[in-house]
Amino acid sequence: MALAIAHSRGLDGLQAPPVTVEVHLASGLPSFTLVGLPDTEVKEARDRVRAAIVNSGFEFPSKRITVNLAPADLPKESGRFDLPIALGILAASSQIPSPPLADYEFAGELSLSGELRPVRGALAMALQTAGSGKAFILPVASAREAALTGCASVYAASSLLEVCAHLSSQGALAQPVPVAPEKQPVFADLSEVRGQSQAKRALEIAAAGGHSLLMVGPPGSGKSMLAARLPGLMPALGQNAARESAAVLSLVGQFRPECYGQRPYRAPHHTASAIALVGGGNPPRPGEISLAHQGVMFLDELPEFDRKVLETLRIGAHPYRPRRPPRQVPRRIPAGRRDESLPLRLQRPPQWKMPVHAGPDRPLPRQALRPLPRPHRPADRGTRPAERSARRQSRRRILGHRACPRRSGARTPASAPAESQCPARARRGRRPVRA
């Protein structure tokens, strides 16, 4: 059979849309063509798949190979399509049976020796596969992560040869057992803090109601220590909330199966950009606010963050509008912020006074917030005559001219040469001023 079809999954935000891998072998000069909006990582799969098939003991067909990744309008990225592409080529060349491919979905990156490497987003792909009624074949490390969903049939494979043996009924792949999360608390206990009764009460209220918290105080007063204990006060995650949090972390490859069911704690640096906080890029990746979904995000040194970054965090989306529809990633966090009583900086509008620096020991004056009346005259007409004369003298000195004696009010001696009295008037052809 010259045509084979395999099934896989892509990543589009937190969604994992199905991707159909169609492989066609035709007569002609040997070539390998990939179509369907592939990324650079996907295009490089041609060399990886060729070497993996040969090193696994199979024959790479010397024909015109065309691989189509459908749908064509969905960007394809990462090396998760190496395994379905290799299986499609083997099925199209009649080296493995093609009917079993319709009952499975495949994802995995191939090494040159034929070994399978883990991929990102295994948990999100497994959640979407549960509704399709198909089993999912993944690398061993990714299969342990996908087995935590408990709603999909997942098989773990370590090489391309094991997958081919399973499809040819010459062997059976093992199904991974979900790893039970650790029951021990991973966050520091609030009972270890001595004193700070008001701050403890505020943390309890914020944890119970899911409120945001602003902590203000001098350095060393315990703001970071208290913020690190906020996740331990929050209630345990439910099954759906734990899956959502783990799926977001899986998109960037930061999920660990032993931490399943624990609330994340993120503390980005104050030099982080807007895209690093709210997400973005091409292809879009979740930001810190999405990685802290169902957990706590602590903004240390809040006044040091860029104003545009804070405005983007308040709006919840980056002002850049991509050509493709935006990707939605959930984010639900009680944000913790810390301020070390730095001076309050006021941005000066055009008609306002200069910026005012105030602190707890120096209150903000009321007259600083009072806007000045809009000026209706030029700047030179509302000043004193002496100031206007000084500005004129400085402008003429910069231009290399001397002040005119008549305008400055000084008397020139009769014995003074004509060129030293008013060079500007002499150049214009006027008679010099006499005493």
**Structural domains present in the chain:** 3-167 (3.30.230.10), 190-339 (3.40.50.300)
> What pLDDT sits at residue 250?
86
The residue that leads in pLDDT, 168 or 409, is 168
169 Rama sector, left if φ>0, alpha if ψ -120 to 50, beta otherwise = left
Q: What is the pLDDT of residues 293-305, one digit of tens each?
A: 888 999 998 889 9
> What pLDDT sits at residue 428?
52
Alpha carbons within 13 angstroms on the beta-carbon side of residue 227 total: 25
% of the chain at pLDDT higher than 70: 72
CA distance 109 to 255: 18
- Widest pairwise Cα distance in the chain: 121
Q: What is the pLDDT of residues 263-277, one digit of tens each?
A: 899 999 999 988 888
Question: Among residues 152, 119, 116, which one has the least CA distance to residue 255?
Answer: 119
Long-range contact set of residues 163-171: C-beta below 8 Å, sequence gap at least 24: 163/83, 163/87, 163/106, 163/116, 163/137, 164/56, 164/58, 164/87, 164/90, 164/96, 166/137, 167/87, 167/96, 167/97, 167/100, 167/101, 167/104, 168/96, 168/97
Would you say 63 and 27 are in contact if contact means Cβ atoms under 8 Å apart? Answer: yes
Q: Is residue 189 over pLDDT 60?
A: yes
If 0-12 CB within 10 Å is exposed, 13-18 middle and 19+ buried, where does residue 260 land? buried
Q: What is the pLDDT of residues 317-373, one digit of tens each?
A: 444 344 444 455 555 555 555 544 333 333 334 343 334 444 455 554 554 444 445
Residue 15 — pLDDT band, cuts 50, 70, 90? confident
* Average pLDDT value for residue range 211-222: 87
Residue 129 — pLDDT band, cuts 50, 70, 90? confident
Q: What is the pLDDT of residues 137-184, one digit of tens each?
A: 999 999 988 888 877 789 999 999 999 999 999 989 999 887 656 555
Would you say 77 and 11 are in contact if contact means Cβ atoms under 8 Å apart? Answer: yes
CA distance 145 to 256: 8
Q: Is residue 81 over pLDDT 80?
A: yes
Q: Is residue 94 over pLDDT 80?
A: yes
The residue that leads in pLDDT, 1 or 155, is 155
Question: Among residues 52, 153, 42, which one has the least CA distance to residue 103?
Answer: 153
